[in-house]
Structure 1
Amino acid sequence: MAEFAPEEDRNFSTDQDLLVFGQRLRHLRRAAGLTLVELGERVGRAPSQLSLLENGHREPKLSLLRALADALGSSVDELLSKKPPNRRAELEIAVEQAQLDPLYQRLDVPPLKVGKRVPTEALEHVLALYDELKRRETKQVATPEEARKANAELRQMMREHGNYFPEIEKAASGILERVGYHGGALSEGVIQSIATHMGYGLRFVTDLPRSVRSITDMRHSRIFLRRESLGMHSPRTILLQTLGHLTLGHSQPRDFADFLRQRVEANYFAAAVLMPEQAAVGYLKQAKADRDLAVEDLRDVFSVSYEMAAHRFTNLATQYLDLVCHFVRNDETGIIYKAYENDGLVFPTDPAGAIEGQRMCRHWAGRMVFASPDRYSTHYQYTDKPGATHWCVAHVDPNRGRDFAITLGVPYTESRWFRGRETTNHSKSRCPNGECCQRPPTELSNRWQGMVWPSARAHSHVLSALPSGTFPGVDEADVYAFLESH
């Protein structure tokens, strides 16, 4: 995870920024009809120093930037623009970047020195070959087995860190400081100010491809979004997740594990912006002191979804409240979609150790909430499980397609800090081995075994390969066609 420079140092946060600056400097120098020697005389620098700048190997100081702008009849803003000055410069930068990619370097071909004598058609040709190389390398990002393994490894890493990542917290708090955030729920205006501060404009459209939540046009510094929510993701959440990828310096994923890590980090960043660390911790500490911790209060104070509030609680609980906990998102049949624990809860797992896709016990709160008289009311429950008793609060987030339950749980001894601890709902579970809920009672088995022929619903998804592509499941043809139309 990247470190983030203060505002005055962010002009050259990446090597590509330096390459773009160098190209703009060379373009303006040639447009002014000056040689390196002549420009050096005007700004009091050796030609060799200016050459390093033009080739993206050195970062100029502000005093030199001003001198160069004056000598070229330009401005500092024009020199620091993130856009290459023309198509040729854009190609040269792209070829330089491509040759730094380990995938390209594995070809073991001599490096191409990108000079003005190299035809533009040759640069286009090299980039086309590089793009095809990447496409073939990432055509099938992972098998389902590799995906489950990546999920298990990521969950282990989250557990080891208590699901708390200070570098992302620092990035989120830094961006809020720079746009003048003073507390409370973030308005849409503040969130748009964050995008503007980062140099991106917003476009709300109705024809965004179905396979994406947003599209970032890096060439024109625009982010395309839908106005309406996508499932449980509101437009502002999707925007902040997109800005999270940019703030954290993510590049194209190397494999599915890298894609998954980036997605988790971007989601974390969005939550840390919407529920800033200092404000959220202060609120939670007071609620704990009052023995009145409640996810729904965190949701309401910061105007976020219940799922985001519950997951944000896991970021801060161990670090600041001295609490261990678990989190689950599952559908009505008990299939687990997301899960985290550092409180010793034993989830059902497959042989690779993956939780996602497994079915939880029917006696756990995440399934019992669907059987309650009002599934959309908060459901509190104690559950005796092998080796421990957990207190849980479960809430169903209504969705246009299907409902999902969000569960936050803690060991029995920690329930004293939470609202709902007085509940009389109590169940027992012998899972995750399935003995208590997946095998029918002996009496029913004796009566019905061999006398039933259920017509099973076809689960066609189990026959599908994992979505392919650099960004799994994204239809690049649709994305490129969309950008061309806009």
Structure 2
Amino acid sequence: MAPTSLELSTLGHRIRHQRVSQHLTLDELGELVGVAGSQLSLIENGKREPKLSLLQAIATATGVEVTDLLSTEPPNRRAALEIELARAQSSSIFRQLGIPAVKVTKGIPDETIESILGLHRELQRREREAIATPEEARRANTELRLRMREGDNYLPEIEQLAEKQLKAAGHVSGALTHRTVSIMAEQLGFELLYVNDLPHSARSVTDLEHGRIYLPPASIPGGHGLRSMALQAMAHRLLGHQRPTDYADFLEQRLEINYFAACALMPETASVAFLSQAKKDRNLAVEDFRDAFGVTHEAAGMRLTNLLTRHLGIPLHFLRADGSGAISRVYENDDLPLPHDVTGSIEGQIVCRRWSARAAFSEHNRTTEHYQYTDTPAGTFWCSTQTGSTSDGEFSITVGVPFDDAKWFRGRETQKRATSTCPDESCCRRPPADLTARWQGKAWPSARVHMQMFSPLPRGAFPGVDDNEVYTFLDRHAQG
């Protein structure tokens, strides 16, 4: 088996060490062993593998055993540093940078090599974090969710920033218009452009050099999401975001831009006034809040998590679940017994089939909200659920509160009531004994496997975004 480049490099360093210790030049040692000094230089630099007979001659000339030359340990600290640097500069991570490698000479101090190695180690660490495993990503997401829960999911600095920007743009009341969003962008030095060729991996692209924010076509039905996307892009600038240093930083930035967009679409002052009056009337309803500010049901429900506890003293929970009951977005500070995995992550877990988030799918009339009380091991909760569908399938949006707070909400008179004992397996996950006896050992389903189970998180500073696609897009429009 041919020696590796690392083995040849170590061998070369050991030969050089023995030669120098005997005060021999390359040419002097070459004359003793019968080869040109230039040939020995190639061997010492790990560029050529010496024959065993030559190794024996070198060992004799330098007064050591062949086994000493063949040792896999670097002969000294300097050699160890040079070998590690050579290995780092030959890695795919470094080569992808497209910058020249540092050529080590005698004049470069050990400290300089150590500093360069420190940069390589940090580069490798960031690369590992950029392709974090799904488990690591779930931990980062869980830590962020718990931190936000401690503060009632409320970020006062962003609330104030949003109101300041709205006031500067002339917004007074009512739903935020596309025109006002454009004015907000102009005041930041940006122009909103709606294009048909936006990169598939990006929701929007900001050209910092030319002051442009590229968005999907304005002809998208409803266009509700376009205001939010534009506001999120602006938020990166307003909040002074830098390129994410790791996945946790990326998640926090995403949360902050979503929060700013929600604050702009549903300003704190106007929203709290609206919700306070609705509470006074005992007529709180997600659909009314949604319609008052011209946003989606999901946006209105999620905005309640920012405001209800802090301003109205009402704890609550929010769930978005797909047709199978898998949770994709969640918040709770009312102690609803949510399912979670060993990392504490809730996203991707399946909610009890008796909960409103899943029971609503069986309703015949889905144009109105589904109201339900559910008895759980943690107490009784009242929930309001709205269902919908996208190209990816069905989904439900649920906002719920503990029993005692249901008195403030429309739909509290509902007679629908269910009992859930989850996480007890006998609640809805374990089949009844008679069905188990009838079919155990006689069924062989083919599981639907999602590829993301096996995939690492997307690479890059902005996970999931194809830099090549984005830069090509920007270059094309900059020239147009």
TM-score interval (norm. to shorter): 0.7 to 0.9
One-letter identity of the residue aligned with 2:153 = N
Q: 1:355 to 1:204 in 2, by over 3 A?
A: same
Q: Deviations over 1:173-230 (max 9, x none)?
A: 1101111111111111111100001110111110111111000011111100002559
The percent identity for this pair of structures is: 50
Contact 2:131/2:456 (8 A) holds in 1: no
Match of residue 359 from structure 2: 368
Contact 2:126/2:245 (8 A) holds in 1: no
1:153 aligns with 2:154: no
In 2: Cα distance, 1:255 partner to 1:467 partner: 12
Contact 1:140/1:467 (8 A) holds in 2: yes
Q: Where in structure 2 are the equivalents of 1:83-482 lying within 5 Å?
A: 108=115, 137=127, 140-227=130-217, 229=220, 234-482=225-473
TM-score by length of 2: 0.72
One-letter identity of the residue aligned with 1:463 = F
One-letter identity of the residue aligned with 1:196 = E
Note the aligned Cα RMSD (angstroms).
2.4
In 1: Cα distance, 2:267 partner to 2:244 partner: 28
Contact 2:216/2:226 (8 A) holds in 1: yes
One-letter identity of the residue aligned with 2:333 = N
Contact 1:138/1:468 (8 A) holds in 2: no
In 2: Cα distance, 1:107 partner to 1:381 partner: 64
Equivalences, count: 363
One-letter identity of the residue aligned with 2:422 = C
Contact 1:211/1:473 (8 A) holds in 2: yes
One-letter identity of the residue aligned with 1:179 = A
Gap regions ≥5 residues in structure 2: 1-111
Q: 1:326 to 1:443 in 2, by over 3 A?
A: same
In 2: Cα distance, 1:318 partner to 1:285 partner: 12
Q: 1:231 to 1:370 in 2, by over 3 A?
A: farther
Displacement of 1:108 in angstroms is: 3.8
Q: 1:343 to 1:230 in 2, by over 3 A?
A: farther
Displacement of 1:107 in angstroms is: 7.9
Q: 1:463 to 1:106 in 2, by over 3 A?
A: farther
In 1: Cα distance, 2:193 partner to 2:335 partner: 45
One-letter identity of the residue aligned with 2:474 = L
Contact 1:138/1:469 (8 A) holds in 2: no
In 2: Cα distance, 1:300 partner to 1:159 partner: 27
- State the secondary structure of the residue aligned to 2:130: coil
- State the secondary structure of the residue aligned to 2:206: strand
In 2: Cα distance, 1:451 partner to 1:157 partner: 47
One-letter identity of the residue aligned with 1:170 = Q
In 2: Cα distance, 1:107 partner to 1:313 partner: 52
In 1: Cα distance, 2:407 partner to 2:284 partner: 9
Displacement of 1:397 in angstroms is: 3.2
In 2: Cα distance, 1:176 partner to 1:459 partner: 42
Contact 1:141/1:255 (8 A) holds in 2: no
In 2: Cα distance, 1:306 partner to 1:217 partner: 31
Moved more, 250-259 or 287-296: 250-259
Displacement of 1:106 in angstroms is: 12
- State the secondary structure of the residue aligned to 1:380: strand
Q: Deviations over 1:20-73 (max 9, x none)?
A: xxxxxxxxxxxxxxxxxxxxxxxxxxxxxxxxxxxxxxxxxxxxxxxxxxxxxx
- State the secondary structure of the residue aligned to 1:329: strand
Contact 2:384/2:400 (8 A) holds in 1: yes
Displacement of 1:454 in angstroms is: 1.4
Q: 1:308 to 1:324 in 2, by over 3 A?
A: same
Contact 1:213/1:230 (8 A) holds in 2: no
Q: 1:355 to 1:216 in 2, by over 3 A?
A: same
Displacement of 1:166 in angstroms is: 0.4
Contact 1:395/1:406 (8 A) holds in 2: yes
Q: 1:242 to 1:449 in 2, by over 3 A?
A: same
In 1: Cα distance, 2:449 partner to 2:439 partner: 23
Q: 1:177 to 1:268 in 2, by over 3 A?
A: same
Displacement of 1:464 in angstroms is: 1.4
Displacement of 1:372 in angstroms is: 1.1
Q: Where in structure 2 are the equivalents of 1:16-31 lying within 5 Å?
A: none
Gap regions ≥5 residues in structure 1: 1-104, 110-128
Displacement of 1:138 in angstroms is: 6.7
Segments of 4+ in structure 1 off by > 4 A?
A: 132-136, 228-233
One-letter identity of the residue aligned with 2:167 = E
Contact 1:162/1:342 (8 A) holds in 2: yes
One-letter identity of the residue aligned with 2:185 = A
One-letter identity of the residue aligned with 2:303 = R
In 2: Cα distance, 1:245 partner to 1:318 partner: 27
Match of residue 86 from structure 1: none
In 2: Cα distance, 1:478 partner to 1:257 partner: 24
